[in-house]
Structure 1
Amino acid sequence: MINGEKNIEKPIRWSMVGGGRSSQIGYIHRSAALRDNNFELVAGAFDIDPERGKDFGVKLHVAPERCYPDYITMFKEEGKREDGIQAVSIATPNGTHYKITKAALQAGLHVICEKPLCFTTEEALELEKLAKSENLVIGITYGYAGHQMIEQARQMIERGELGEIRIVNMQFAHGFHSDAVESQNASTNWRVDPKVAGPSYVLGDLGTHPLYLSEVMLPHLKIKRLMCARQSFVKSRAPLEDNAFTMMEYDNGAFGTLWSSCINAGSMHGQKIRVIGSKASIEWWDEHPNQLKFEVQGKPAMILDRGMDYLYPQALADDRIGGGHPEGLFEAWSNLYTRFAKAMAAAGSGGTLEGVWYPGIKAGVEGVRWVENCVRSADQGAVWIDYH
């Protein structure tokens, strides 16, 4: 159970690029990073408007002289300080992730980056090589993976409770963009601009989340080939899709499907993952994240609740408040930021990190590779293509 005791010897001196006052995601980064005293926010380039960014940073209790006009200046000036930053979180539009991540690694900084890490597998592999050569950590904020019941599902599958895995059924399909809301909302508008968002919209923005959940639960499964069809139901979004269906064949013969959509009218969030084995199935839905459905063939369906003693110790290790009390996305992100901190501390001390998984550079590479392959399949007319 997490109770606030220190996980690392000293808080990591941390900064942000982006995540300013109008950011959709900046606050959850800060809340997650600061909650367990794993990080200390000491600097930032919070906004594309330097004055607005400085005003915001000062109101976050960051020293005025450490509120920088841009990330290049921040990396340069912080590098001159004995108490300079050790890590940076990147919460900017997709098209900037690659260059900021590369600059941070070259400045000797650990990185926590919003997905996608970049636009091409070639770029992702370049960042992986650079991080490895500098002994630096890259974390990707697949925040839903920090929910306690994801670890419970991982343990149940690993211990054979489902039997042989046959089907993985995934979706992230909400309805909030069933109309052209981007015409009135700047924070949504860039997501449908290929120059900023990259080669996809919902495949990269939504689909990679349940894809990573499947990688956590089923680390032994590898995609052999896939087929994808994508559509732009709101025509102004073309060539980017607002709906897509992906089918995947795994190397053990199992089969997966993933529905990515922002036009599922009436759906609040619609992220689910169901893993079907030869003996039993499990299902997790992010609108009810504290529960995991467990269905054994021939027996009544069961609902497992977070924080209960019948869960595996690995799942209870992520518990923050005990059974019966609801935990949410902020706790899940905090769990991931704790894992990021442990990985960074181990890398900084030359030690090894054992028994701790987190969405790292390999998750970033696979997310980019999956989107790239989905787009390639769809643009060829929804054909089966080899994954590697």
Structure 2
Amino acid sequence: MSSNELRRDAKESSESTDTLSRRDMLRLSGAGAAAVAGAMTFRVGRAAPVSERKIRLGVVGGGFGTSFYWHEHPNCVVTGVTDLRPERRERLKAVYHCDAVYDSLEEMSERADDIDAVAVFSGALDHVKHAQMCFARGWHVVSAVPACFTLEEAEQLKEAAERSGLSYMMAETSYYRQPAILAREMHAKGAFGNLFYTEAEYYHDRGDLERLAADKSTRFFEPDGSHSWRWGLPPMHYPTHSTGLLVGVTGERITKVSCLGWGGHEHPYVTDNAYDNPYWNQASIMQTDRGNMLRCNVFWLCSAHGERAQWMGDNAMLYMDKGGVHGPKLHFRTAGETASRYDLPVQDGGDVDVPIYWQTDMLPEAMRHNSGHGGSHTFLSAEFINALVEDRPPAIDLYESLAMTVPGIVAHQSARKGGEQLAVPQFDRAG
């Protein structure tokens, strides 16, 4: 069954039996909210499967890789950890209470015989190579973003995953940000009408430019003083925090893109990098296979920080706040249309009480707490393990991952061609 079919099945199931008002749930707190949520049948995630099976997980990468919660899932045990740096290996060992520590993924693949799946949180340029190594070893893969860096790598990843028959998931945090879960629910219920336009943006300011160039203790440098993969990274090569806010809500595919880049300040970051990238910031207009529009920004030099989206339909608009500058809003175009018709948590005036989904039984009890990137890390951890236990594709499977990643690669090509509109190749399942 395809991921689109799974989404349709979930929608049909929810529409037939969803009877509890989210507004009622929001009046509750703590254990009460979790208990009431158990009566809700609309699911964007799932609580722990009823199974005794344990997924034995290896974790690669002691930086970002330590910020997930595999060890809190009742169906998972971390049985191996690895990083090239000794101090990061110790951090992994401490966080996941795992004594099986390896100096490298290569060593783990040669020696470990008690691993079913691997969380690949190594440097971004190694994601495809490391995923291929894991598939060759017979291990399922969940990977940090982006899935790949080139169109050739996209093809290699698709071929390796399909040949292996194993699961692949990309840990895209935008998918489980709380407003994005609400947007996905609204779309499934038809509240937007035709969702014809989305704005999505990811801003991650590089800060003081003198320090950026001189302070070799930051993540832009390796221990030997050389530049890390982050130095000079083309913004659109890290697109998924933006593209995921459309692809992850509607399942659409981006088919065309036109992008512009801005260089601005003269600095080694944009004049001396491994990518020959001259841009701090990139902005694009993308078109989907349904004829809809996405305005997608990724900026590295700006007085802003964070992720934000705005979903606009011919029936309703949802505004996702960023950093508390503006509160989330929901407006219907037709005066007679009401949020209560769709059982949505909206007050008078359009303010939205975004449900705190991580407090509900969408997660195993031990994982019902806040986590990184807007509460998404517990959801990502749980979804990968649940999918393996239930023997189903994860929500952000191979094809969703490539659909979020590849448009950014093409967008950067467009910027280098002065904004020329380019076709985006598709990497969905054949047939």
TM-score band (shorter)? 0.7 to 0.9
Aligned-partner SS, 1:211: helix
Aligned-partner SS, 2:219: helix
Q: CA deviation at 1:360?
A: 1.9
Structure 1 partner of 2:171: 141
Q: Does the C-alpha gap of structure 1 residues 382 and 195 become closer, same or farther in structure 2, counting only changes over 3 Å?
A: farther
Structure 2 partner of 1:345: 389
Letter in 1 for 2:118: V
In 2, are the aligned partners of 1:148 and 1:319 still within 8 Å (CA)? no
Q: Distance in 2 between matches of 1:5 and 1:55?
A: 31
Q: Distance in 2 between matches of 1:5 and 1:163?
A: 30
Kindly report which structure 2 residues correspond to 1:216-295, keeping only aligned pairs within 5 A, or say none. Answer: 216-219=248-251, 221-234=252-265, 235-238=267-270, 239-240=276-277, 241-265=279-303, 267-269=304-306, 271-287=307-323, 292-295=328-331
Q: CA deviation at 1:246?
A: 0.6
Q: Does the C-alpha gap of structure 1 residues 377 and 178 become closer, same or farther in structure 2, counting only changes over 3 Å?
A: farther
In 1, are the aligned partners of 2:253 and 2:403 still within 8 Å (CA)? no
Cα shift readout 1:246-305 (whole Å, capped 9, x = no counterpart): 11123333222112112122x242x1111111121012235359x752111265642232
In 1, are the aligned partners of 2:219 and 2:228 still within 8 Å (CA)? no
Q: Distance in 1 between matches of 2:232 and 2:219?
A: 18
In the alignment, does 2:179 pair up with 1:162? no
Q: What TM-score do you get using the length of structure 2 for normalisation? A: 0.72
Q: Distance in 2 between matches of 1:40 and 1:359?
A: 22
Structure 2 partner of 1:336: 380
Structure 2 partner of 1:26: 65
Q: Distance in 2 between matches of 1:5 and 1:380?
A: 47
In 1, are the aligned partners of 2:200 and 2:245 still within 8 Å (CA)? no
Structure 1 partner of 2:396: 359
Q: Does the C-alpha gap of structure 1 residues 247 and 133 become closer, same or farther in structure 2, counting only changes over 3 Å?
A: same
In 2, are the aligned partners of 1:233 and 1:242 still within 8 Å (CA)? yes
Q: Distance in 2 between matches of 1:315 and 1:222?
A: 31
Q: Does the C-alpha gap of structure 1 residues 59 and 148 become closer, same or farther in structure 2, counting only changes over 3 Å?
A: closer
Kindly report which structure 2 residues correspond to 1:64-79, keeping only aligned pairs within 5 A, or say none. Answer: 66-78=100-112
Deviates further, 330-339 or 276-285: 330-339
Q: Distance in 1 between matches of 2:363 and 2:117?
A: 26
Q: Distance in 2 between matches of 1:133 and 1:166?
A: 36
Q: CA deviation at 1:118?
A: 2.1
Cα shift readout 1:120-178 (whole Å, capped 9, x = no counterpart): 22322322232233221111111231234322211212322122222111111243436
Q: Distance in 2 between matches of 1:74 and 1:164?
A: 49
Letter in 1 for 2:385: A
Aligned-partner SS, 2:378: helix
Q: Does the C-alpha gap of structure 1 residues 276 and 115 become closer, same or farther in structure 2, counting only changes over 3 Å?
A: same
In 2, are the aligned partners of 1:178 and 1:263 still within 8 Å (CA)? no
Q: CA deviation at 1:180?
A: 5.1
Kindly report which structure 2 residues correspond to 1:180-219, keeping only aligned pairs within 5 A, or say none. Answer: 181-183=211-213, 184=215, 185-189=217-221, 196-197=229-230, 200-205=233-238, 207-219=239-251
Q: Distance in 1 between matches of 2:79 and 2:332?
A: 50
Q: Distance in 1 between matches of 2:137 and 2:296?
A: 38
Cα shift readout 1:341-381 (whole Å, capped 9, x = no counterpart): 1222233xxxx46xxx5222113322331122111111111
Structure 1 partner of 2:152: 122
Aligned-partner SS, 2:187: helix
Q: What TM-score do you get using the length of structure 1 for normalisation? A: 0.80
Aligned-partner SS, 1:374: helix
Cα shift readout 1:83-102 (whole Å, capped 9, x = no counterpart): x1111111121111111110
Q: Does the C-alpha gap of structure 1 residues 43 and 200 become closer, same or farther in structure 2, counting only changes over 3 Å?
A: same
Q: Does the C-alpha gap of structure 1 residues 339 and 58 become closer, same or farther in structure 2, counting only changes over 3 Å?
A: closer
Q: Does the C-alpha gap of structure 1 residues 382 and 315 become closer, same or farther in structure 2, counting only changes over 3 Å?
A: farther
In 2, are the aligned partners of 1:112 and 1:139 still within 8 Å (CA)? yes
Question: What's the % identity of the aligned pairs?
Answer: 16
Aligned length in residues: 353
Aligned-partner SS, 1:186: coil
Letter in 2 for 1:281: M
Cα shift readout 1:290-345 (whole Å, capped 9, x = no counterpart): x752111265642232448xx9xx99653789xxx977637421112111112222
Letter in 2 for 1:188: F
Structure 1 regions of 5+ residues with no counterpart? none
In 1, are the aligned partners of 2:141 and 2:169 still within 8 Å (CA)? yes
Structure 2 regions of 5+ residues with no counterpart? 1-33, 39-45, 271-275, 336-347, 426-431
Aligned-partner SS, 2:115: coil
RMSD, aligned CA: 3.2
